Chain A
Amino acid sequence: MLEITGLKKTFTTGFINKRSAKAVDGIDFCINDHEMFGLVGESGCGKTTVGRLILRLIEPTDGQIIFNGIDLLKLDKKALRNIRPQLQIIFQDPESSLHPRMRIGDIIAEPLKLYDLVSKEGRNVKVMELIDKVGLNPEHINRYPHELSGGQSQRAMLARVLALAPRLIIADEPTSSLDVSVQAQILSLLKDAQKEYGFSCLFISHDLNIIRNMTQRMGVMYLGKLVEIGFTADIFKNALHPYTMALLSAIPLADLLAKRKRIILKEEMPNRMELPTGCRFRTRCNFKDKICETSAPAMVNVGNGHQVACHFPQKA
């Protein structure tokens, strides 16, 4: 349904001393119909940029994004506008993505108005239906965003997105600012909505436990490149990239008293302006060798759609 090939985005800074940062540096993946695809990585790895590139909220430097057979990057403004209702995004911070001077009811009705999907009379009915669906109360319609809690704002955001019945939702850390008990509410709401509406979803998160709960397939990103892709269950059972292994070793287990053997990585993520030669992960890798300094590993398929980019994929 969504096929991404060779997607790249380079940001340049500076006027005389032009320097460039490769935020996304050639990534390929696809999302199937009705699928939740998880994109995981640490801050600054480029995962948010990927989400925004797909919607063309920022223009890619290079690559191809095919959505239901249409190349999104070839569309002109008008055609893009016409296809946008099918592609929606839920942002990280719900409070700053809802217009502070509009009432919740108007915020949810706005997309219906813009795309003229429902007649004027039907709009209120539709808004009430959506409000109910996301678990808000009718009285919230007349409230302003600052009067809602973080969880309620995110519910309103979801209602607004669902109003257009999109085919693909990009959920960019939709619960990173919420408490766990509320986070669980929003995630189960998103899961239920997906069952009912059947949209596909690119779920961006830094929390591997959430990815495991929410997604069928996932990709792990490091410094602008995907290092591992596969079925979520496969990656959790048999991670092959040393970075994925380190991430997995650091997550909380269901039995919180169980001893975790964390894999501690050296140093921190290098500066994106001065990428290491060869494999990008080698400066922090515990398994690196000579070859990692000179050649960047290519994505290799190891079966069942499980792909890894490493010279020495580890067997757990």
Chain B
Amino acid sequence: MSLLSIEHLESQFVTEDGLVKAVDNVDLEIDRSETLGLVGESGCGKTVLALSILKLLSENTKINGKIVYKGKDLLKLNDADLQAIRGKEIAHIFQNPLNSLNPVLSVGFQICEPFMLHQNARKAQALREAVKMLNLVGIPLPSERAKEYPHEFSGGMRQRVMIAMGLACRPSLIIADEPTRGLDPTIQAQVVELMKELIETSGASMLLITHDLSLAAELCDKIAVMYSGEILEYADTKEFFKKPAHPYSVGFLESLPSRSMKPIRGTSLSLINPPRGCRFCPRCDQSTKKCKDIHPELKKVKDGQFARCHLYA
């Protein structure tokens, strides 16, 4: 049985302009010790999907479907039960560490919190654990740095602190939202190596959300490509990068500066009134009349590769 399975998930926002379907009928599974990369461009709904898992979205969001974690539907849990899972069983590493750390609390205290909350640790003991975590993520002089505040840390260091907080209670599932965004390449290299090592040693599963395909290629076992609220392709990492199936995946890969940097024409569309047929149809070079009229389902292309495209019907 998979560790987390998401079934028919819909996350919708009620706005003045209409209903925004940020996540639209998404199915995903993550096995134990598996890393799933959720890739897509800004506004495709990947962050909303991640925030839906632990119900971290605002009140005006409607979430439908099922999110089953170890046999329990997270969407049916009450606040107290959910609180017991947040940070302990499932940890969320947010993007933009400066905004996610509390500026008026010392870094050490912020890493203590999960220990005190979930393991009833005393403050002194929690602090010792926090220092251990800081050491684990490669922060020099951890016992001194623990007393400092987030603004005294550099971007790369803050990201390490976020990782330390996420891993504090040895969660079974880590949701990492753009963990390397905004870091310089040499610092990014340090953080990626650290994450690789920590995932391997802890055996945790991970949902990695990123727009960076090279990061996904390096860290993930499976890749899910999201576009306009939907999963367009779901495949084993190897199959995906060897031969992407969906025309959007192909275009996405070809637009990378490390490849031919060939652009995809047009821009992604509004999530308020998506077209009837395929959502990628207006930008696709291989579209036919069928694509305009009929919404494609996620179909098997071959073993370990699924695509939502009429080419594979």
Contacts and interface: CB of A to CB of B under 8 A. Distances in A.
Contacts of A209: 256-258
B261 A257 contact: no
B313 interface: no
Nearest to A209: B257
B263 A43 contact: no
Interface string B245-263: 0000001110111110111
Interface in A233-278: 246-247, 249-257, 260, 262-265, 268-269
Interface in B217-240: 217-218, 237-238
B42 interface: yes
Interface residues of chain B: helix, strand, loop or mixed (majority): helix
B252 A268 contact: no
A184 interface: yes
A268 B156 contact: yes
A213 interface: yes
Nearest to A189: B263
Contact of B41 (A179, A208, A251): A179
Contact of A250 (B185, B242, B255): B185
Interface string A91-127: 0000000000000000000000000000000000000
Interface stretch (B144-152, B186-194, B291-299): B186-194
B154 A252 contact: no
Contacts of A82: none
Contact of B213 (A206, A246, A256): A256
Given A256-B213, A264-B193, A268-B156, A246 B257 contact: no
Contacts of A268: 154, 156-157, 187
Contacts of A28: none
A186 to B, nearest CB: 8
A133 B105 CA distance: 52
B120 interface: no
Interface in A200-246: 206-210, 212-213, 246
Contact of A251 (B190, B252, B253, B258): B258
Nearest to A262: B189
Contacts of B263: 181-182, 184-185, 188
A230 B7 CA distance: 54
B255 A183 contact: yes
B284 to A, nearest CB: 12
A42 B256 contact: no
A206 B238 contact: no
A284 B187 CA distance: 12
B251 A181 contact: yes
Contact of A180 (B185, B187, B256): B256
Given A206-B185, A213-B261, A257-B238, A264 B214 contact: no
A183 B257 CA distance: 9
A151 B193 CA distance: 32
A278 to B, nearest CB: 20
Contact of B255 (A151, A180, A253): A180
B184 to A, nearest CB: 4
B188 A180 contact: no
Given A180-B255, A181-B41, A257-B241, A42 B267 contact: no
Most buried by B among A42, A181, A260, A262: A181
A187 interface: yes
Contact of B214 (A187, A212, A249, A252): A252
Given A206-B185, A213-B257, A247-B186, A180 B241 contact: no
A107 to B, nearest CB: 20
Contacts of A183: 255, 257
Interface string A145-169: 0000101100000000000000000
B85 interface: no
A22 B42 CA distance: 36
Given A179-B41, A250-B189, A187 B261 contact: yes
B46 interface: no
B252 A253 contact: no
B279 interface: no
A256 B261 contact: no
B45 to A, nearest CB: 14
Nearest to B154: A268
Interface in A17-37: none
Contacts of B218: 256, 260
18 contacts: A42-B186, A43-B184, A179-B41, A181-B255, A185-B264, A188-B263, A210-B261, A247-B186, A250-B188, A251-B258, A252-B214, A252-B256, A256-B253, A257-B237, A257-B241, A262-B193, A263-B189, A265-B190
Q: Can you list the 6 inter-chain pairs with the closest CB atoms, starting with the nearest?
A: A252-B214, A209-B257, A256-B217, A184-B263, A42-B184, A185-B263
Interface of B: 41-42, 154, 156-157, 184-190, 192-193, 211, 213-214, 217-218, 237-238, 241-242, 251-253, 255-259, 261-265, 267
Given A42-B186, A179-B41, A181-B264, 5 more contacts: A152-B267, A181-B252, A249-B189, A250-B189, A256-B213
